[in-house]
Amino acid sequence: MTEGISLDEPDRSPAPFYVKARVLVIGCGNILFGDDGFGPAVAARLEAEGVPEDVAVMDVGTGARKVLFNLLLSERVPSLVVVVDAVDRGRSPGELFWIDIGQVPPEKADDFSLHQAPTSNLLAELRDERGVAVEILACQSAHIPPEVECGLSSEVSAAVGKACEMIRARIAEARGPGNSLPPV
C-alpha cells in the first residue's frame, strides 16, 4: 500500500504513510456486494498501473472513516483527497460523475460504506477546517445486491478504466504548473 510514496530520509514518525502524500485517492466500498466494489476495483487498478511518488492510493473498503479521522488528527495532510465510490443517483449504469460533499445521496450521507458514520462530516471538516480539496468521483451502480454477491456488473466494470483516466487527469492537473493546490 505504500507504493507511490517516496521519502528522502527514514520516517520515524507514527503518522500513517498516506498523510505524507500530496494526493490521496481512496477507493470505498464492499467487494462482497456487487457494484459496491467499484471503489476498491479502481484503487487496485491504479496501484497496479503505478502512480506518481507523491500520490497514495488506498482500497479502504468499508474503513474510510478511520483514514479520514487520522487525516484530521495529523499535522500534515494531502492537498487533494479523491474519494471513489459507487452510488445510486438514477443515472445510466456505469456513468461516472463528480459530486460535491453536499450532493452525496442520503443513503451515503453518513458514510461511504453503509457501515460507518459520519464520513461526510469528516470530509467536510477536512475541506473546511484543514483546507484539503475533497473531490468525490461517483459511478452509477447497476446492481448492489441485498446479500453477498461478488463481482461488478458489466457496465460498472467497464467504467473502472475510465475512472482511472479521470483520476490521473485530476492528479496531473493538481500537480501541474499553475495548479490551485498548495504544496504539502
Residue 171, pLDDT > 90, answer yes
Residue 109 lies in a domain: yes
> Is 180 part of a structural domain of the chain?
no
Q: Give the residue numbers spanning the domain of 42.
A: 18-175
Lowest mean pLDDT among 15-29, 61-75, 92-106: 92-106
Asked whether residue 3 is domain-assigned, the answer is no
Quickly list H helices, 74-144. Answer: 119-130
- Mean pLDDT of all residues belonging to the chain: 84
Query: Which one, of 155, 146, 157, lies nearest residue 37 by Cα?
Result: 157
Cell reading at 156: 460498472
Residue 181 lies in a domain: no
In a domain? residue 97: yes
Q: What is the CATH number of the domain that holds 109?
A: 3.40.50.1450
Q: What percent of the chain has pLDDT over 90?
A: 58
Q: Which three cell numbers stand for residue 80?
A: 487533494
pTM of the prediction? Answer: 0.82
Q: Do the domain assignments include residue 11?
A: no
pLDDT tens digits, one per residue of 124-152: 999 999 999 999 999 999 988 889 989 99
pLDDT, residue 125, reads 92
Close Cβ partners of 104 (under 8 Å, ≥ 6 residues apart): 87, 120, 136
| Lowest mean pLDDT across 14-23, 74-83, 125-134, 172-181 | 172-181
Which range among 95-99, 121-125, 178-182 shows the weakest confidence by mean pLDDT? 178-182
> Does residue 84 sit within a domain?
yes
Please say if the pLDDT value at position 50 is more than 60: yes
| Cross-strand pairs, 149 | 33
pLDDT at position 108: 53
Q: What is the pLDDT of residue 8?
A: 54
Of residues 66 and 8, more confidently modeled:
66
Give the chain's domain count. 1
- Is the per-residue pLDDT at 6 higher than 60? no
- Which residue in 30, 50, 49 sits closest to 40, CA to CA? 30
Average pLDDT of the residues in 78-105 = 90
Instruction: State residue 10's pLDDT score.
Output: 55
pLDDT for the residue numbered 56: 96
Residue at 4 is within a domain: no
